[in-house]
Structure 1
Amino acid sequence: MNPRHLSGIGRRLRGLGVPVVSPRYEALARQAADEVLVTSPEGTVRFLSPSFSRRWNLDRWALLGMDAFDWIHPDDRDRAREALRRACLPGAAPVDSEHRYLVLRTGEVRWVRVRFSDARHERSVAGVIWNCVDTTEEKHALEALRFVADHDRLTGLPNRRSLFEALATARAAGATCGLVLIGLDGLRAVNDRLGHSAGDDVVRRTAERLTRVAGGDAVVARLDGDEFALLVTGTERVVGQAVAVLGERCVRAVREPVAVGGRSVVVTAGVGTALAGPAGGPDRPAPADPDGHDRVRELFGHADVALTAAKAAGGDRAVPFSRSLLDARHERAELAADLRQAVGQGQLRVVYQPLVDLAAGSTVGVEALVRWEHPRRGTVSPAVFVPVAEESGTILELGAFVLDEALGAAAGFRAAAGGGVLVSVNLSAHQLLQPGLDGFVADALARHAVDPAVLCLEVTESAAVADLSAARETLLRLRSLGVQTALDDFGTGYSSLSYLRRLPVDKLKIDKSFLDDVADDQGVAVLSGIAALASGLGLTTVAEGIETDQVARLVARAGCTWGQGYHFARPLPEQQAREHLARRPGREGPQNPLWRSTTA
């Protein structure tokens, strides 16, 4: 409508003396903080307070006779009209409504909270009062807070809380849901080598790639520092197919190199997938779970079981959930519970595998290894129960037990050998990062009155590089006690010269996998290169897994210093280890002919 026409309407209303509000009410409206409108029950404007005119920069007289709902966003008009209608019912209390307001001059959208009060029967006002408050800034602040609460700050993706609620809503509605959990491998190493800003770049790039992979078919969320998730909902057949495809695509997408600070960085991902079918049906009534949260937790648990299996298999792969995986987890949980009691019940014992000087043929040390005799299961392999101990946290108690037993046996080994014998004890990744580890080791050495130089603490390559800075600090503190250190399983992880230079270790234990190819010239050359590298860094090399006479000769020829394996001796109980040390060459037994021919 033309504003001049509106102005004419206003003049005519005033000229006719239409009693809209009393002078006293208008005086009050001038002082009010709220913007005030008075309309007919249908919404025709009959009065605007000066504060309303100033707030929206409007001619209050020009707007008389207009429909106030013309200023309300089309999507909110029905709701606002319903609030006005309810306020006009006989005996009704004031009704509150919040809706979007369209600024007439600019088209800007603002949020306004309105309280509708029917005052038609009052002498001071002849109409329905709209007390209006602009809530736009408040709304934006609340939206910003909600975004922070529901989204990851680094990537802008929905967070765990947001994804959990989306899943619960979908499950409660009876939809089939597919969950893809993605755990990054190698992100800690990036943080350690290049800094956390580089790690953040990798996370952001990974988020972008996963978003592209998902397209419009899935919701992508960041759950934790190195964990993402994709959520797919729909019919059972479509979701099942989508989850299988998305899992593989995520693995490939994460694997692609990322350019960070002019360097190419590669991380990989373990992926676990799981499905949750409709909450109920004709032959499958829904369980008593009104909000769907129990079923969501179950779905997360299943996907996590699959993710754990993917990581245990080496990562860089997708593994779907299966009942066999869940049974295996339950089995591990039962083993973990039994393991907690094993130390106190005398089920654990320590055996010792000799370390041999390849040139002299003499036993120079022993490695302490733990064994478990379960009362029902019999002998449980360390390959089974050590990972269980790592997962459950029992590894700290287990490691303390082995260290205590090994140091307790050290004096007997020295007496049997007629001199110093190195005792090696493995440290787990959890122990390596345990606060106060150096103090714990110092107390154990003092308790058993053992010379620190007798003890060698071994850490695996993968454990050391997972948090290189922390590992370096811990190893330096241990070396300050006079304890020797070794890097175990070299060749199963990064096998990088830069790591070797930064890690304060005395010995390099070469993984058995290198010995599998040592029969050919190329294999010997690789082993010789590692031995020369270690020698240049002042490290003693120890070849693990020597099982035959031929391999022993080739390893010695390649330049390795020490050897270990079934060819020399299997792990021995403490008493048999003493007897073995008493027979070592140079003590009572004859010189081993193998070593004479090898070094001739």
Structure 2
Amino acid sequence: MSDIKDELLEQHIRAAQITNTIRFIRLYLVSIFIACIYTFCLYQFYFSQTSVYFNSWFVITAVSVSSMLMITTLYFKKGQFNPQTGNYWLKFVCLMTGILIAIGIALLYYYLPSINPDFSEFHALILSGLLILVSQTFALTYLTQRLSFFLLVAVPTVLPYVASQIFMTSQSDPLFHLVTNFILIILLLCANAIMNMHSRLTGMYYRNNVLKKNAEQQASWSDELCQQLQSEMNKSKDIELQLQLNNQLLEQKVRERIYDIELMHKNLQEQQDNLNLAHEIAGLNPWDWNIKERHFSITNEQQQTRKIDARSHQLLLQNKIHPDDITHLKTSMKHHLRGKTERYETTYRLQNTKEKWYWVHDTGRVIERDPQSGKPLRMVGIRRNIHQERTDQERLRLAASVLEQAAEGIFILNEDLCYIDTNPFYEKISGFNREQILGKHLFDITANYKSQQRSKHNEIVQQLLETHKYDAEFNEKFLSGKELSIRLHISAIKDEQDRIIHYIGIVTDLTERKLQEQRLSYLENYDPLTDLPNRFYYNYQLHQYLVSQEDSINQFAIIRLNIDRFRPLNEYLTNNGGDELLRQVAQRLRLTNTEALFLAHLNGDDFAIVYEISHIRTSVQQHCERIAKAFSIPFNISGQDHIITLSMGVSFYPEHGRQLDYLNNCAEQALSEAKRLGGNTIKYYSKENTKLLEQGIYLERDLRHAIQNNELIVYYQPKINFRDQQIYGFEALVRWNHPVKGIIPPNMFIPLAEQTSLISDIGRIVIQQTAKQIQEWNKKGFKNICVSVNIVAQQLQRGQLLEDLDAAISTYNISGESLELEITESSLVENSESIKDVLQSIKQRKIHISLDDFGTGYSSLSYLADFPIDILKIDRSFVSKIGQAKQEAIVSAMVAMGKAMGMTVVAEGIETQQQLNYLQSLECDIAQGYLFSRPLPEQDATIYLEQNMQCPTYT
């Protein structure tokens, strides 16, 4: 029997090999045809001299291969040819193609070098090697179902090379032949291995089909046995009824039929044993209710019959039956006992010894009734435990409900990955209804016209076949037109013998989640106002440029851009107008930076550009100038044209650094320098800027320590009254007594303090020390001394100045008339109304207000009229140029204007007698300068005051 099976298997394998080779031979012939054309074209293209033999070979080969391909296609269709005929035809095709290729190789290798001087042996070796390797590769790919097919091609093909080793030993290279022979042997071994693999796979497929058919036959036999068992059970019931009737007849014919009774009893016993066995196998518990005699017999799971009183059995049932099932059971029993139903049948729950409920199916029939009254006398039946069956049914119903209601696509595949069931949600995802899906392969309903899609599907199938599971996320397009991002999870279901019988697949639609992720990614990486990358994405991308080894960017520039005077313009335009301006600025930057690597909106009006530097691009200077030129065109905001200028700061990689933060800081420093110069300019980072910045940082740190350690002191420069040449007062000037560097003049730290909140702290200290010094002078009898203190815009705007003045006046008990506050014109530019209110409050305290550095700022005469100014102070830059006609005219006009407006006029910076005489001739009120004294410390100022109560005459 085993030999017959082996023979059938061998026949099947042989037929399958021939069928598969017939299918692949078409591809092989097409491949050989292409290889011959390619070889022929190469020779014709590179070598002009033609050969009749080589051309004839190409024509014969092309015609022969085409003919064999046509014959194979027309006469050897699937399932329509004899395997034996196909075998002969395949051998013929293989032998013919091998001979044709061998002829071509011989012509290339032996003949063409001899007739064509340009065609060397090296060229012959290349083209003949190409032809033999290509033909061997295609034979190895398509003709290894049987080794004989491969050999019929391979042997003739290699004969020219073998012949060259035998007959051309003098011209041959032994190493080349060794390598060639080794490659040919390897090809032969590979062909044999592949043939064995194909044979094993075909055999396994045939055995699997045989096993499948045997399993189906076994299942059919099992169904037949079950039907026979049911028939036997029905027969047993009928026999039992017949026996009961016979028992009544036997009582009358005992003596006459004793032999027959014994024989029937013997048959009955045998059938009873069979019935008990069937009951035991089927889990049936027969019962017999003798209504007339009021007793009940029941057989338990161990086939032990127990007889109890009917009343006791009824009470026992009432205690064991579930309360919800008692009414239904009684109703079914009454209907049958009264003859309303053909048989009694019901399902209810019983309680076992472990006090757990289990389901039973109870069926029975009255087999004996009173002939006259029709009352039932005897009833028999069968009780069957159906708890497991009921539980399985509930689980199946629950599983079916879950499958129907699940919010994920679920499908079931057979072992061939074909659909056998789907749920409604999968129909919704795929766009096909259930009938259109069932029976198709897993990816028959998806688009496969792109190589990437086919590759992905093949990868999934391969992984399922190897690991029996797959779980991943990818984009899928269905033939219904739906294109979704899904998560696919497929796992195999195996039987008790670990054989795969089904695959369960779950498909989750991730499209909306992916869209949300894209939206979140956009919000995280892009500015929604300008639609440009934000600071986070800018830093990330710049970091990638710095660390990536793949990009060939060797040098680039970081350009930081800032809109000049954006803050006041934004307040004028309101928020909507400001946003529209930023959008238009971003759009114009986008259009002018198409060559840039990256463009980003960092925040507010701050933008950044990463620009690659190379010899094929315009320079950074030209690029920045092009941006500035583009911004010369007005921006139309809410119907109004606005000219916008930009400040730009540039740093270079790698000249200025190789770290992200450092490069950004360099560009920011250059931008700050451009802003400091008034904007609308381009500044490049330099090391000097860094040194100045570092000095500023260190200076700010030391200045904060100086304020905490009381290192700031006040110097006093005298002011002289022109009229009586008496000391009018002093100007308080702050100095920094550094513990290491000594006295630091104010021009070294005041500009830095004005950029921070430190100027307010310094001003408070000066006011306090000045008030204290005035108190000391008052105690010494100098009652009419007025000391002026310089006040900057920040002190006026922060709202702390009035409190500082009140605290100083109250603490040192001095008069407000002893103080004079010197403010600059720039302090009056912004927030004019609030500044005016503060100055009015100062005037209420009888403190004098002086306009310092008049003529060097905005020089608006409206300040003199609108603000409560008592004193007009002419700047030293005008006084120093007295002697020049134009400058003297300006000074004369200033003095005359101050006099006309009833103000006291002070001239500072007087250093020569000429300057003094000229100002005195103009009837200027107060003089101040080095001609009288330099700024003096507290003690020196007191000595000066004591010595010069009666000043000498400078005439």
TM-score after normalising by structure 1: 0.70
The one of 274, 277, 281 aligned to 2:651: 274
Matched, 1:589 2:951: yes
What is the match of residue 403 of structure 2?
29
Look at both structures and tell me which one has the larger radius of gyration over its CA atoms: 2
CA contact (8 A) 1:185 1:267 kept: yes
CA contact (8 A) 1:528 1:559 kept: no
Q: Following superposition of structure 1 onto structure 2, how do residues 119-268 of structure 1 map, counting pairs within 5 Å?
A: 119=492, 121=494, 126-127=502-503, 129-136=505-512, 138-173=513-548, 175=553, 176-191=555-570, 195=574, 199-200=578-579, 202-233=581-612, 242-248=619-625
Q: Tell me, what secondary structure is at the counterpart of 1:230?
A: strand
Judged with a 3 Å threshold, the aligned counterparts in structure 2 of structure 1 residues 535 and 373 are, in CA distance, closer, same or farther, namely same
What is the match of residue 371 of structure 1?
735
Bigger helix share? 2
**CA distance, structure 2, for counterparts of residue 76 and residue 529 of structure 1:** 88
Q: Note the C-alpha offset of 1:320.
A: 1.7
What is the match of residue 84 of structure 1?
460
Unaligned runs of 5+ in 1: 1-21, 281-291, 594-600
The one of 762, 767, 789 aligned to 1:403: 767
Superposition RMSD in Å: 5.2
* Higher RCO (CA < 8 A, seq sep 6+): 1
CA contact (8 A) 2:535 2:600 kept: yes
**CA distance, structure 2, for counterparts of residue 434 and residue 552 of structure 1:** 39
Matched, 1:49 2:420: no
Q: Which moved more, 1:119-128 or 1:339-348?
A: 119-128
**CA distance, structure 2, for counterparts of residue 480 and residue 79 of structure 1:** 89
Q: Note the C-alpha offset of 1:173.
A: 1.0
What is the match of residue 118 of structure 1?
491
The one of 683, 686, 706 aligned to 1:342: 706
Unaligned runs of 5+ in 2: 1-395
Q: Note the C-alpha offset of 1:410.
A: 2.7
Q: Note the C-alpha offset of 1:161.
A: 1.8
Q: Tell me, what secondary structure is at the counterpart of 2:532?
A: coil
Q: Tell me, what secondary structure is at the counterpart of 1:129?
A: strand
Q: Which deviations, in whole Å up to 9, do the C-alpha atoms of 1:346-366 show, x marking residues without a partner?
A: 653322345567788776554
Q: What code does the residue aligned with 2:541 have?
A: A
Q: What code does the residue aligned with 2:950 have?
A: E
Matched, 1:447 2:811: yes
Judged with a 3 Å threshold, the aligned counterparts in structure 2 of structure 1 residues 251 and 562 are, in CA distance, closer, same or farther, namely farther
Q: Note the C-alpha offset of 1:481.
A: 6.1
Judged with a 3 Å threshold, the aligned counterparts in structure 2 of structure 1 residues 588 and 492 are, in CA distance, closer, same or farther, namely closer
**CA distance, structure 1, for counterparts of residue 724 and residue 679 of structure 2:** 42
Q: Tell me, what secondary structure is at the counterpart of 1:445?
A: helix
Q: What code does the residue aligned with 1:145 have?
A: L
Q: Tell me, what secondary structure is at the counterpart of 1:61?
A: helix
What is the match of residue 12 of structure 1?
none
Q: What code does the residue aligned with 2:693 have?
A: R
**CA distance, structure 1, for counterparts of residue 885 and residue 663 of structure 2:** 52
Q: Which moved more, 1:196-205 or 1:494-503?
A: 494-503
Q: Note the C-alpha offset of 1:32.
A: 0.8
Q: Note the C-alpha offset of 1:271.
A: 3.1
Judged with a 3 Å threshold, the aligned counterparts in structure 2 of structure 1 residues 31 and 568 are, in CA distance, closer, same or farther, namely same
**CA distance, structure 1, for counterparts of residue 624 and residue 407 of structure 2:** 57
CA contact (8 A) 2:557 2:653 kept: yes
Q: What code does the residue aligned with 1:131 have?
A: V
What is the match of residue 7 of structure 1?
none
CA contact (8 A) 2:489 2:506 kept: yes
What is the match of residue 426 of structure 1?
791
CA contact (8 A) 1:459 1:487 kept: yes
Judged with a 3 Å threshold, the aligned counterparts in structure 2 of structure 1 residues 522 and 436 are, in CA distance, closer, same or farther, namely same
**CA distance, structure 1, for counterparts of residue 743 and residue 412 of structure 2:** 87
**CA distance, structure 1, for counterparts of residue 640 and residue 886 of structure 2:** 31
Q: Note the C-alpha offset of 1:558.
A: 9.6
CA contact (8 A) 2:596 2:609 kept: no
**CA distance, structure 1, for counterparts of residue 847 and residue 693 of structure 2:** 37
Q: Note the C-alpha offset of 1:114.
A: 1.4
Judged with a 3 Å threshold, the aligned counterparts in structure 2 of structure 1 residues 258 and 96 are, in CA distance, closer, same or farther, namely same
Q: Note the C-alpha offset of 1:296.
A: 0.8
Q: Percent identity?
A: 26
CA contact (8 A) 1:184 1:227 kept: yes
Q: What code does the residue aligned with 1:308 have?
A: S
Q: What code does the residue aligned with 1:96 have?
A: A
Q: Following superposition of structure 1 onto structure 2, how do residues 533-548 of structure 1 map, counting pairs within 5 Å?
A: 545=909
